[in-house]
Amino acid sequence: MKFFFYYNMKKISNIDKLNLTYRYSDSFIKIEYFDSHNNTIVISDNDMKNTNFIFGKLVIFDCTLTEVLDKLKEIDNISLKKSKYSLKKINVRLYDNSIIEDVYIMV
């Protein structure tokens, strides 16, 4: 299961709190903008509009999506600033310019 983590969840110490087997790579995504009113990342389906970047970690877990989501709910102090998140699949870029497809992000 592939996830892109940013903000506080990109910290290895927070990923370790999930108690799941994983491997990670430093990575980034292209976004259109950050909506500060709704506190969310906006990613356009038109890649030409995605001209800003967010840096984080591509984390690959050896488990199911449900297992990752259940563990994320248990983590304290990751400064979740919204009461509701949604999952989206995106492309993530590694620093060697390769692209990893179908990566989950919580927005």
Q: The domain spanning residue 79 has which CATH number?
A: 3.10.490
Decide: residue 79, CB within 10 A, 0-12 exposed, 13-18 middle, 19+ buried.
exposed
The pLDDT of residue 102? 96
Task: Tell me how long the chain is.
Answer: 107
Residue 56 belongs to domain spanning: 2-106
Give the C-alpha separation, 107 to 91, whole Å: 14
List of residues 6+ apart from 78 with CB closer than 8 A: 8, 9, 14
What are the φ/ψ torsions at residue 35 (nearest 5 degrees)?
Answer: -90, 100
The pLDDT of residue 8? 83
The pLDDT of residue 83? 60
Give the C-alpha separation, 100 to 2, whole Å: 9
28 in helix, strand or coil?
strand
pLDDT in tens, the chain (107 residues): 999 999 888 999 999 999 999 999 999 999 999 887 777 889 998 989 999 999 999 999 999 999 998 898 887 666 555 566 788 999 999 999 899 999 999 87
The pLDDT of residue 64? 95
Number of domains in the chain: 1
